[in-house]
Structure 1
Amino acid sequence: MTTPLTLTSGRHPDGTARLTVSGEIDMSNAGSLAQALDDHTGPLVVDLTAVEYLDSAGLSVLFAHAERLRLLVTPLLEPVLAVSGLTDLATVHAAAPDHRPPA
């Protein structure tokens, strides 16, 4: 069974392509995330503030595109990305405490 995951494309306020991700990212749906990242060329802001769970399959997908990603994350995900080493390869920004993903 596939874990619920929602991927929404749009534009960041600075004009950069944006992918808003919500739900859980695991081995059952990491392919959908990979496809969404592959569909965008160039720099990409990935808003992970509505992600409730991220496993190693999801991390692997992010690593494959790290050099062109700006990740927007919650304090919950920040340590996971730091321990994995992803913060050394991608730009990671902590969301403001009152941040809400775009509807």
Structure 2
Amino acid sequence: MNAALTFATSRRPSGDILLSAVGEIDMSNAATLAAALADAHRDASGGPVTLDLTGVEYIDSAGLAVLYPHVATLRLVATDLLAPVLTVAGLDDLTTIAD
């Protein structure tokens, strides 16, 4: 069974791309996250992309693996529940994680 996952993309006043995810990210839909991130980075034309994970209730290793190729231009926003998972995965050493 696929975990429910939806995305919304917008442009911040600064011009940066904001990609908001809602639901659960796991191996059943990690490719969907990868495609959404690729589209957001293409729209950003090399600029930063903020991935808002405050609506994400769960992320597994497949979902985390999708984030690593984008760390140079990716900023993550996470809840207090999800931030420790991102930290344990080492993403806090590679990109900005805000709450």
Could you tell me the TM-score, scaled by structure 2's length?
0.90
Aligned partners of 2:96 and 2:70: how far apart in 1? Answer: 11
Is the partner of 1:14 in helix, strand or coil? coil
Deviations 1:16-61 (A, max 9, x none): 1010000000000000000011112221011000000000000000
Count of residue pairs the alignment pairs up: 94
Match in the other structure for 2:57: 52
Aligned partners of 2:84 and 2:72: how far apart in 1? Answer: 19
Q: In the alignment, is residue 11 of structure 1 matched against residue 16 of structure 2?
A: no
| Deviation for aligned residue 1:67 | 1.2
Match in the other structure for 1:61: 66
Identity among equivalent pairs (%): 54
Amino acid at match of 1:91: T
- The structure in which a higher percent of residues are helix is 2
| Deviation for aligned residue 1:92 | 0.7
Correspondence 1:10-89 to 2 at 5 A = 10-41=10-41, 42=46, 43-89=48-94
Aligned partners of 2:81 and 2:54: how far apart in 1? Answer: 9
Does the 8 A contact of 1:72 with 1:92 survive in 2? yes
- Runs of 4+, deviation exceeding 3 Å: none
Any unmatched runs of 5+ in structure 1? 95-103
User: RMSD of aligned C-alpha atoms?
Assistant: 1.0
Any unmatched runs of 5+ in structure 2? none
